[in-house]
Amino acid sequence: METENQVILVKRTNPRADPERSEYLFEELRELTRTAGYVPVGELTQTKFPDSKYQLGRGKIEELAELVRTTRAEKVIFYNKLSTIQLFNISEICGCQVIDKFQLILEIFAKRATTRRSKLQVELARLRYEIPRARAIVSILKKEEKAGFMGLGDYEDAYEQGLKKRITRIESELESAEKDDESLRTFRHRKGFSLVCLAGYTNAGKSTLFNSIVDESVEAQNMLFTTLVPTTRALELGGRKALLTDTVGFIEELPHWLVDAFKSTLDEIFLSDLILLVVDVSEKPEIILQKLSTAHDTLWDRIQGVPMITVLNKTDLLEASELEAVMEEIGYMAPNPVFVSAKEKAGMQELKAEIIKHLPAWSFYSFSLPNSEKGMSMLSWLYDEGIVHSVEYGERISVDYEARTEVINRIQSLEQNLDE
Amino acid sequence: MWDIIAVDISGRHRIKGGYYMVCAAAALTVSADHIEKVKQVKILPFWLKKAPGLLDVVQLIEDTANQLSFEGTIVAEKGDMYNQPRWVPESMFSGAFKYQESLAERRAIELAHHISLSARNLLIKELDIEA
C-alpha cells in the first residue's frame, strides 16, 4: 500500500467556540494540506482547553497513535500551534513526524519558492521559527547527558549560534534587495507610473483577475498560495500608465514572524498608490466578513491614506438578487465595491473606470515651447511623463498637457530656461 | 455611512493604591474605510481599588457613552473585553455592541485610544495622582 504523503489532520477547539467557524478553519487546513501535496487519510478533533504536554488529552493522543498505526500515515498535521515539548511528546507516542499549521505553510512556501530571493525569505522564516526551539531541543537532549561524558559539548552553543549567524546573513542580503526594490519603485513613480496592487485572502482569484486585466497568463490555480513572488505588468488606463502587481495572499492567524519574513512582498502593497482588495463573493457572508477582517487587520496600520477598491470577484457563481443580499451584509467592510467575474472577464470596464477615479490626481497645464531642437526634445520627454492632449506647431509649439504635479512643476521651471 | 461610538479605556494597570482608568467615547459617522465625521467626544475618569472585571469595564463604557447626545453601535477592541468572544460582552450591553472590524472602525478605535491616553496622562499630572 502506498503510504507516501499520507497524513492525519488534528484540531483542538476551545469549548464554547462557534462550531461553524471551527469547521471552516478545519476546511482551510484540509485545503492547505492538499496544496502541500499531502493526502489526508484521517481526521481527529477534540474540544477542550489546551494541554501543556500534548495539546490534546492524553487519551486522544493515544487514539491518534492508533489511527497513525492503522492508516500507516507518515505525518500528523495539527491546526493548533505546538510547543517544542508538545511536538516531542506527540511524536514519541505516535512514532511519526508531527508538524503544525505554521510549518505546513512554510513547507508550501518552500515548495513554491522559485527565485533566490523567495528561497531566502522562506529560509529566514524557517530559521526564525527554529530559534526558540533550538534551545528547547538542546535542553531535551541534555536530559540524556551524564556528568563528564556523553554530553553535547560545543554543539550545545554552536547549534543556536549557527542559526543566528545564518539569520543575520540572510537579513543583510534581503535588506540590499529591499533597497533595490525601493529605488525601482521611485524610478517607476518618476517615470509617471501609478502603482496599483492586488491584495486579498489566499485563493480569492487575484491571479485570475490579474490575467484578465492585463491579458497575460500568470499561473492561476484553484489552490492556496499559488503566487509567492509579486508579478508586475504595465497597464494603460485612459491614457495613464499604471503598473499592476499581483501579490501573495493573506491567511488568518498568519504568525507575525512569517509576515515579517515576507515583508518585501507585502511592501509592494503598502507602498502602492491604490489597493485592489479582491474578495471571493461566492462564499457565505460570514466567511467573507472574516476574510475581509483578516485583510483589513493586515493592512490597516500601514496603508495611511491609500485608497482601496473592494473587487468582489466570482460573481458568475451568484444571481443578482443573491449579490444584493451579500452586499447588504458586507457593505460596511467593503470600501468602493466593484463586481467582477475575472474568469468570464465581466465587469472589467467598470473596474478600470473605478481605478482611474482613484488614481492620484493629475493636473492640466497649457503652455508653449520654442519650435527649436530643445523644444522638440522636451516634447518627446513630455510624451514619456504624462498625457499630451493636443499639440499645435506654429512659431511656437502649443501643448495641452496632463501629468503629476511634480512633472508640471518641472515643466514650469524648464520653460523659463528654454526661453532664455 | 454608519453611526458608531468608538470606545477605549486607558490605565488598566495598578498604580499606587489602585486602578485609575479613563474611558473615552467618540460618536462618529464612518464609511467602510474612513471616519467621515466626528460628532462628539466624551471622557470619564474612574477609580477602582481592585482590578477591574468585565462588568466594571462594561459599566464604565456605558456610563461614558450615555453622556453623548448621539447613538450608535458601541465598537471596542477585543483586548478591552479581556478577549472574550463577542456574545459575552454583547449580552451585557444595553445597546448594540461589536468588536472593531473595518478599516474605519480600527481608525476610530485608534482615535479613542489617543484621547483616553492623553486625557489620563493630563489628569494624572494635574491631580498629582501618582505622587
Kindly give the confidence (pLDDT) of every residue in chain A, 420 residues in length, as a single tens digit, with 9 standing for 90 and above: 455 688 999 989 888 777 877 888 888 888 888 888 888 888 888 888 888 888 888 888 888 889 888 988 888 999 988 888 888 888 888 888 888 888 888 888 777 777 777 788 888 888 887 777 777 777 776 666 666 555 556 666 677 788 888 888 888 888 887 777 777 667 666 666 788 888 888 778 888 888 888 876 556 666 666 666 677 888 888 777 788 888 777 777 666 666 666 666 677 777 788 889 998 888 888 888 888 888 888 888 777 778 889 999 888 888 888 888 888 888 888 888 999 888 888 888 888 888 888 887 788 888 888 888 888 888 888 887 778 888 888 888 888 888 877 788 888 888 777 665
* Cβ count within 10 A of residue B69: 8
Contact A332 B33 (CB under 8 A): no
User: pLDDT tens digits for A299-328?
Assistant: 887 777 788 899 998 888 888 888 888 888
- B102: nearest CA partner in chain A: A333
Q: Distances in Å between the alpha carbon of A310 and those of A331, A353, B108?
A: 10, 14, 20
Q: What pLDDT score was predicted for residue A153?
A: 62
Q: What is the mean pLDDT of residues B55-77?
A: 94
Residues of B near A (Cβ–Cβ under 8 Å) read 2, 31-34, 85, 101-103, 106-107
- Report the gap between the CA of B31 and the closest CA in chain A (Å): 7
Rounded CA gap, A278 and A200, in Å? 5
In chain B, which residues have their Cβ closer than 8 Å to the Cβ of A287? Answer: none
Which triple of cell numbers denotes residue B11?
490605565
Mutate to test the interface with A, among B31, B33, B73 (most CBs of A within 10 A): B33
Question: Do A73 and A5 form a contact (C-beta atoms < 8 A)?
Answer: no
| CB pair distance less than 8 Å for A332 and B102 | yes
Going by C-alpha positions, the residue among A182, A84, A185, A97 that lies closest to residue A136 is A84
Identify the closest residue of chain B to A296 by CA–CA distance.
B103
Establish, for the pair of chains A and B, how many residue pairs have beta carbons separated by less than 8 Å: 38
- Best of A13, A253, A300, A301 to disrupt the B interface (most B CBs within 10 Å) is A300
**Within its chain, how far is the Cα of B73 from the centroid?**
12
First to last CA, chain B: 46
Q: What is the pLDDT at residue A44? A: 87
Q: Which cell numbers in the block locate residue A346?
A: 465581466
Q: Which of B34, B102, B107 lies at the smallest CB-CB distance from A333?
A: B102
Question: CA A47 → CA A44, A64, A83, A335, B7, distances in Å?
Answer: 11, 15, 19, 37, 33
Q: What is the pLDDT of residue B94?
A: 92
The residue of chain B with its CA nearest to that of A332 is B32
C-alpha torsion angle, residues A277, A281, A282, A284 (rounded to 10): 110
Search chain B and give the residue with CA nearest A292.
Answer: B102
Q: How far apart are CA B92 and CA B55, in angstroms?
A: 8
Average pLDDT, chain B: 91
Residue A216, CA distances (Å) to A128, A195, A234, A352, B4 in order = 36, 18, 11, 16, 43
Q: Which of A296, A301, A336 sits opposite B102 (nearest CB)?
A: A296
The three cell numbers locating residue B55? 462588568
Judged by a CB distance cut-off of 8 A, whether residue A332 touches chain B is yes
Cα–Cα distance measured from residue A232 to residue A248, given in angstroms and rounded to the nearest whole number: 12
Looking at chain B, list the stretches that DSSP marks H as alpha helix, in order from N- to C-terminal side.
Answer: 54-66, 87-92, 103-126
Q: For residue A297, which residues of chain B lie inside 8 Å, CB to CB?
A: 106
If we measure between CA atoms, which residue out of A29, A24, A81, A134 comes closest to residue A258?
A: A81
Handedness of CA B40, A327, A205, A254 (dihedral sign): positive
Instruction: Report the alpha-carbon angle A15-B101-A125, nearest 5.
Output: 75
pLDDT digits (tens, 9 = 90+) for B80-104: 999 888 889 999 999 999 999 988 9
Contacts 24+ apart (CB under 8 A), A53-62: A53/A85, A53/A86, A53/A89, A54/A86, A54/A89, A54/A90, A54/A93, A55/A12, A55/A80, A55/A82, A55/A86, A55/A90, A56/A10, A56/A12, A61/A89, A61/A90, A61/A93, A61/A94, A62/A93
Where residue B112 falls among pLDDT bands split at 50, 70, 90?
very high
Determine, for residues B101 and A333 on separate chains, whether the beta-carbon distance falls below 8 Å: yes
Q: Are A300 and B101 inside 8 Å of each other by CB? A: no
Would you say A354 and A336 are in contact if contact means Cβ atoms under 8 Å apart?
yes
Domain boundaries, chain B: 2-127
pLDDT the model gives residue A306: 82
Domain B2-127: CATH class, spelled out: alpha beta
Q: Which of residues 282-311 of A touch B (CB under 8 A)?
A: 289, 292-293, 296-297, 299-301, 307-308, 310
Chain B partners of A290 at a C-beta cutoff of 8 Å?
none
**Residues in chain A within 8 Å Cβ distance of B107:** 300
Q: Which three cell numbers stand for residue A241?
A: 500608465
Q: What is the pLDDT of residue A367?
A: 86
User: What per-residue confidence (pLDDT) applies to A146?
Assistant: 62
* Chain A residue numbers touching B2 (CB-CB < 8 A): 332
The verdict on a CB contact (< 8 Å) between B32 and A331 is: yes
**CA separation for the pair B18, A151 (Å, rounded):** 51
Q: Which residues of B touch A336 (CB under 8 A)?
A: 32-33
CB contact under 8 A, B103 and A296: yes
Alpha-carbon distance B114 to nearest alpha carbon in chain A (angstroms): 15
CB B101 to CB A289 under 8 A?
yes
